[in-house]
Amino acid sequence: MPTAEGLLLVAHGSRDDRAAPVAHEVAAAVARLRPGLATGAAFLELATPTPQEAVESLAAQGVTDLAVVPFLLSDAYHAQEDLPAVADLARSRGWTVRLSRVLGPDPRLVEAMAARLAEARPSGEPPFDAVVLAAAGSSSRQANDTVAEVAADLGHLLGVPARWAFASAAAPTVEEAVGDLRARGADRVGVATYLLAPGFFADRIRAAAASGGAVAVTEPLGACPQVAAIVADRASLDDRLGRPDGGKPVTGN
């Protein structure tokens, strides 16, 4: 069987049935962007296929050179602890394995959030005069600081005041961030949902945005063109997590 290059997109997984299809849609979009690349998606928990099952499927397609791409926006616990184990799983087969960085930060994500806000603004209504970038939240200060950076970039792009907020694990809450902007004179606050897929946190952000007085809230990024392009780049560029060897491809034993 001829050997092939592959990409495995690895998401956390969710009990919400709306979440898993997004990763599969992005993997399919990357396959269209990169003809000849075998792509698949896997989930660390709560959804299938598992990483083991996905690796087996890629092996059946002749893959021996694999890029493992985290379907994550921030470099938090799962990127540091779980994704290296997935790479090692593939590497144990003797494959060449490249473990990429997470998807954010990236200017294209800021552009995608701006586009989502434009979609969320009701037809005929004036533009937002302030925005909140709302993420899930993490116990990692580094991951949360990245969200703050993306919020600042979004505000700069749109030319309006911007704040960041979290649905859990960190402050400020979405209500607090919206309330702060409203207290400073903003009348039309839009909330950008900085998540990849629908689910518990997206629903919490939507409810909190309405409670705080925001006039609109976006859908998650989903399988938008910008996300697919970033994943394709992560697969092909020397864009890997730090390793003792400096991030060079590592073969099996």
pLDDT tens-digit profile of 65-121? 999 999 999 887 666 778 999 999 999 999 999 999 999 999 999 999 999 999 999
C-alpha to C-alpha distance for 164 and 29, rounded to whole angstroms: 29
- For helices 20-33 and 225-236, what crossing angle results, to 10°? 60
Domain with CATH 3.40.50.1400 in the chain: 4-103+224-236, 107-217
Q: What is the predicted pLDDT for the residue at 243?
A: 36
Q: Nearest to residue 71, comparing CAs of 223, 247, 238, 184?
A: 223
Q: What is the pLDDT of residue 245?
A: 34
Residue 241 — pLDDT band, cuts 50, 70, 90? very low
**Class for the domain spanning 107-217:** alpha beta
The tens digit of pLDDT for each residue in 181-233 reads: 999 999 999 999 999 999 999 999 999 999 999 999 999 999 999 999 999 99
Residue 148: what pLDDT?
A: 96
Q: Looking at the predicted structure, is the pLDDT value of residue 1 above 70?
A: no
4-103+224-236, CATH topology level: Rossmann fold (3.40.50)
pLDDT tens column, 137-183 = 998 899 999 999 999 999 999 999 999 999 999 999 999 999 999 99
What was the pLDDT predicted at 236?
A: 81
Encoded amino acid at 4, one letter? A
How far is the C-alpha of 79 from the C-alpha of 231, rounded, in Å? 15
Residue 26: what pLDDT? 98
Residue 17 token pair:
């049935």
Adjacent-strand bridge partners of 100: 240
**What one-letter code names the amino acid at 113?**
M
Is the pLDDT at 242 greater than 50, yes or no?
A: no
The answer to whether 79 touches 142, Cβ cutoff 8 Å, is no
Mean pLDDT to the nearest integer, 1-5: 75
pLDDT of amino acid 235: 85
State yes or no: pLDDT of 25 exceeds 70: yes
